[in-house]
Amino acid sequence: MDSLIKLFFCFSVFLLFGEINGVEGSDKNQRMYGFRPTKLFVFGDSYADTGNIKKSLSSSWKFPYGITFPGKPAGRFSDGRVSTDFLAKFVGIKSPIPYFWKDYAGKKRLQYGMNFAYGGTGVFNTQVPLPNMTTQIDFFQNILTAGDIYSSSDFSSSVALVSVAGNDYSTFIAQNRPNSEFPAFIKQVVDQTEVNLRRIHALGVKKIAVPLLQPLGCLPGITVASSFQRCNESQNALVQLHNNLLQQVVTKLNNETKQSTFITLDLYNAFLTVFKNKGANPGSTTFQSPLKPCCVGVSSEYFCGNVDERGVKKYVICDNPKSAFFWDGSHPTEEGWRSVYSVLRESLTASFIKAGFKAETQDEVDKRQPYIVYMGDAAEKYHVEASENHHNLLSKVIGDESKARELRIYSYGKNIDGFVARLLPHEAEMLSREEGVVSVFKNTQRQLHTTRSWDFLGFVESKYRRSEAVESNIIVGVLDTGIYIDSPSFDDKGFGPPPAKWKGKCVTGNNLTRCNNKVIGARYYHLKQPNYNDSAADYDGHGTHISSTIAGVAVSNANLYGLANGTARGGVPSARIATYKVCWEEGCSAMDMLAAFDEAISDGVDIISISIGGASLPFFDDPIAIGAFHAMKRGILTSCSAGNNGPGLFTVSNLAPWVMTVAANSVDRKFETVVKLGNGLTATGISVNGFTPKKKMYPLTSGLLASNVTAGDYGEPNACQYGTMGEDKVAGKIVYCEVGSEEAGGSSEGQDQIVRSLKGAGVIVQLLEPIDMATSTLIPGSYVFFEDGTKISEYINSTKNPQAVIFKTRTSKMAAPSIASFSARGPQRISPNILKPDISAPGLNILAAYSKLATVTVYAEETLFSILSGTSMACPHAAAAAAYVKSFHPDWSPAAIKSALMTTATPMRTKDFEAELSYGSGQINPRRAIHPGLVYDITESAYFSFLCKEGYNSTSIGLLLGGSNETKKEYRCVDHKQGLGSDGLNYPSMHKQVGSMGSNVSEVFYRTVRSVGYGPSTYVAKVWAPKGVRVEVEPRVMSFVKPGEEKHFKVVINGVMEETMKGILSASVEWDDSRGHLVRSPILLFQADKL
């Protein structure tokens, strides 16, 4: 046994670190609930160590360790994962972080527990001068005493792994003690193990897993004598003595605790089963020679991973580590451990069930998805009890209190009542039928809708009226990708402290270590995948661009590559910004957005801007509609982007009548990038190309001529698709790329990156259809119209030495405003009689601040400002305009502010046949909006009546009221007067989707306006309507004696939908007081079958 133990000792001094994620799930994996472990604490030796020894002291940090997982040495004493990883996988959590690395991990990464195991150690001191198990438990106790990482509540769902793999016995042999003392020493080891188990349990760990000793007589260092064919049974007999004594201890401890606290992992029989079956079970890995290691020294003096002084390898590795059970002389491979745990699974599951666990199959785990359970309005101070109420409801449906606590991800409760939980579809259905639940819907990922603009709106800084003191009391909440706090647009020089009403926080983190008196708040939400390095810092640039458009301070000489040079500023530069990061690489999740709304409302924001959207959903299943409704109840207007799926009809998103939905229009500036060919021909394309050519001409080729593929191969070289061109044919040349085939998506994106990777000098891309959006290119580039592209292709193929040059982008004037081609169009499908979008604002080629943590090209220093396009850019213009209006009228409701912006909007100069379906009331005009003359207001009760008319049930509507549960139950649609007319809501625009039968139309709209002018006033109605349509306003004259007075009128429409109208009847009503107030409402009737 001496040789066995000595060899085992030699292999126990390695450590495991680096990759600390748990094992990926498999179809056979069991995940535990009932008592659901959330933390794993590990004590022991190299079978359990995942990274506690310094890298310089362990060859497990050297190649070839870790070659299977994670593909490089990761500290684990194996080619991949080890026992700790597989136990963590079994209980359904990630592997705990090694103790040595606790100070580097961040608190969130410690949530899965901690690993105190050190390779080469035992219950007593060994020849390896590292912490034995008593010291490891001391470390654990010290952490608990400090209380800054774990609290007592963390241990109600904790598990410990206490691994003893044989290093005490190797030390016994090394000390040359008599063999006759060996059985007594085994008893001492087991007795000390009992002391350790009692101590760990006394510290609060609820369940403790104790592995039995593996068959040491089967380790490769012993079986090498039989050419890895036979185990040494006499040595295994000593192991069985150890295991029998340990089993007795576990039984005794369980009898004392009466809770089945201690669970044995029978590694001994699991190893032997794998050896006997040459694999764990049918279908699992087959080990033809299970006792033979994969990685061995070239001679007896070398071990796996050894190199000589010249760096020459002194070991060999088998062809396929997955075909070997043992990695080296002592430790299993990852595949070996997988097979062991496959054998253990049944008994382990039974033991955990006895200990209070229930097993959930991986299939069930995979089917669980985050669902949002929406329960209406939260009563004042309800958030104190919200979490427990949500838990009780979930427990009732799930039928298991511990499991319910595990499944619940987050509770809303400040303004919005609801929670997020991982549910199975039938559980979601059960919850939706519970009293007090409005809706249950799956968490979805939504997407972002991604200077001169303010001047174009007539909002020239030196000419418009502002009250900086009042404006600085306005707080705009931005739900987006975060913010780059060090942008000059967010300089707080001259700003006083945050307004007294501000109750929010500045949550700092990586790359966002502070807020200031301009950016007064920062929060972030990443509920599904929290990460220790999360912060509200902007790694995308989108959120920074949005925030500076709204409220950036004036920055002179702002430009991108010298383009659009001027002073960049926001619409309300004295206002404050609060950022709420809800968008990450994977998108913007519904549950994160709802959490941000819930807190932003309580924080004290005045306006919310959210340039995010997705599929159209019923209002109670739409997180933005829900969040904006609760914001509206607290006097906060939400500005939303209309979406970028235009120009097709029925593409608009963010449809609720209580949000302001914003389309994107052009400004009077466009970007042109001219391409000149060697034959003198020029083509004017579109891009943001900041590169000045260094030569008069460059060699020109096409993707097809630069092809390195043969016929039948995947990819289209003519479209410059990835992998289809050779660097030898591209380097130093400008490459012309045709439009891809329809089958390949017709893409004209990404070619600049592909050509750059091949060291190309520039790229010219053919467009299938004209576009109006200029995008930045990584190298000199221009997107040219289809016809120009065809001419460039003909030139390339007509000469032996084609040449071209791409000039730096220039700006030129254009007719404006017009709606951008990408801007989503109505009509909508959720509430067919509400016109969306509401309004338009500049969203095409907008210069604003950008994040240095993101890059426009490859040069980070170029990212102080960038040019972006999208309804994402239009939305903050409207949000700023709303904030500007609110600074003059702080007591106005969100509906009144939106009405002011809509009724004073400028009609489009350039119109498409979609008319108001593309732009709503027109382009915002902030200067006129502060004095609209009349406003269409909408009360909370009016929205309830509208929802009744739309068919939402009384119970759900009642839950939106707020207040006590009794108050919520009282609401009944039949007891309330429903909205009159074709739409049933006092909306500033008038819209109806008429039936498809016949061409005659007859509609009536009822409206109420309130005077917000000065003194008495008289308004006369002016009507514009197409030939054959009669629009009557009753009465045609309204007189107001004083501000605040309300008047009612109705609009009656009768006529014929002519074929020339193509299913769209566009008209308008305008109230004129002859004193400068023109209050305009568009009218649009839509007949789908005429398109």
| Catalytic residue, candidates 417, 480, 592, 937 | 480
Query: CA-CA distance, 981 to 276, in Å (whole number)?
Result: 82
353 neighbors 359 (Cβ within 8 angstroms): yes
| Catalytic residue, candidates 242, 542, 545, 1077 | 542
β-strands 519-524, 576-581 pairing: parallel
User: Distance of alpha carbon 504 from its chain centroid, rounded?
Assistant: 22
- Alpha-carbon distance values, 75 to 115, 234, 287, 315, 1066 (Å): 13, 33, 25, 18, 71
The DSSP result for 150-217, as a single string, is --GGGGGGEEEEE---SHHHHHHHHTT--GGGHHHHHHHHHHHHHHHHHHHHHTT-SEEEEEPPP-GG
The DSSP result for 509-566, as a single string, is BTTB----SSEEEEEE---SS--TT--SB-SSSHHHHHHHHHHPPPEEEEEETTEEEE
Query: CA-CA distance, 664 to 870, in Å (whole number)?
Result: 7
Break the chain down into helix, strand, coil percent, rounded to 5: 30, 25, 45
Query: CA-CA distance, 884 to 571, in Å (whole number)?
Result: 7
Q: Which runs of consecutive H residues, i.e. helices, occur in 889-1009? A: 894-903, 916-919, 926-929, 940-950, 954-959, 965-970
Query: CA-CA distance, 393 to 125, in Å (whole number)?
Result: 52
243 neighbors 215 (Cβ within 8 angstroms): no
β-strands 97-98, 113-115 pairing: parallel
778 neighbors 640 (Cβ within 8 angstroms): no
Question: Per-residue b/e over 163-174, b at no fewer than 16 CB within 10 Å?
Answer: bbbbbbbbbbbe
480 is catalytic: yes
Using only the alpha carbons of the chain, give its radius of gyration.
35
542 is catalytic: yes
Query: CA-CA distance, 322 to 631, in Å (whole number)?
Result: 57
774 neighbors 688 (Cβ within 8 angstroms): yes
Half-sphere exposure (Cβ direction) of 437: Cα atoms closer than 13 Å = 22
Query: CA-CA distance, 637 to 615, in Å (whole number)?
Result: 22
Query: CA-CA distance, 829 to 38, in Å (whole number)?
Result: 44
- Alpha-carbon distance values, 325 to 13, 22, 275, 283 (Å): 20, 20, 9, 16
Query: CA-CA distance, 529 to 531, in Å (whole number)?
Result: 6
Coil, strand or helix: which one is 471? Answer: helix
CA nearest 580: which of 515, 529, 522? 522
934 neighbors 1019 (Cβ within 8 angstroms): yes
Query: CA-CA distance, 1086 to 1091, in Å (whole number)?
Result: 9
**Which residues, including other chains, have CB under 8 Å from residue 710's CB and lie 6 or more apart?**
none
| Catalytic residue, candidates 157, 163, 641, 872 | 872
CB atoms under 10 Å from CB of 713, counted, come to 12
Task: State the DSSP H helix or E strand holding residue 776, giving kind and residue range, or none if neither.
Answer: none
522 neighbors 508 (Cβ within 8 angstroms): yes
Q: Which residue(s) pair with 124 in the sheet? A: none
Looking at the annotation, which residues are catalytic? 480, 542, 872
